[in-house]
Amino acid sequence: MADIQGKVVVITGASSGIGAVTAKELAKQGAVVVLGARRKDRLDALVSEIEAAGGKALAVACDVVKRADLEALVAAGVKAFGKIDVIVNNAGIMPLSPLSELRVEEWEQTIDVNVKGVLYGIAAALPVFEKQGSGHFVNISSVAGIRAFPMAAVYCGSKWAVGAITETLRQECVGKNIRTTVILPGAFETELGNTITHKETAEQMGHFMQVAQPPQAIAEAIAYAIGQPAGVAVNELVVRPAAQFV
């Protein structure tokens, strides 16, 4: 049996895509979910849906580029439920373009959300986990974290960084009863493509996404990692559509 019942799970980027589907899946399996995203109206609707199905959820407006927001998100979970067991650092953006376009502002946004957002989540949760003597970080990377692609240099770099940060955190947490997992999704149906403003790249991504699958598979991968016995850590999972070549 999965060890999920009663766990308090914080999820960033929970207003859509992988985050929203994961919230519903974990709540269905008995977790209490603390949901963070900028779009509070969507979070409130998701909380209502989860509660109508018999689950427990809390919504907190949160922008992961603001360290104080991550601290407030984690603190809200602790205040409401007395602990947090897991943080899923899921929020991300993907404004792809060739480097020659010099879209430096988009590069900076990518680093702020995809790298600093994960680091801020770690900074908020790690002291809580250390005080509790237990905890679990689940960081969402991408197949772009193990493969490099044209038009995706900064995105790939950000996702490689997530993998490196997670592995280093794993090593530093050995003996502390704190687990780490990095999930590397392939082409799944999310709103990431909406952040691509470069026309030619958006068109190519549209072709790539023809093999995309619903994000339920990623939610179940996250649940699998969280649900392992306390002495078992699933450190890395790559999940692709079967039809995806790269």
Show which residues are catalytic. 155
Quote the CA–CA distance of 40 and 35 in Å, as a whole number. 9
- Return the half-sphere exposure (C-beta side, CA atoms, 13 A cut-off) of residue 21: 16
Q: Which of 86, 71, 180, 176 is nearest to 117 (CA)?
A: 71
Q: Which two tokens stand for residue 218?
A: 């990623």
Distances (CA, A) of 237 to 56, 131, 139, 163, 225: 27, 28, 11, 11, 9
Contacts of 177 (CB under 8 A, 6+ apart): 133, 134, 135, 230
Quote the CA–CA distance of 236 and 234 in Å, as a whole number. 6
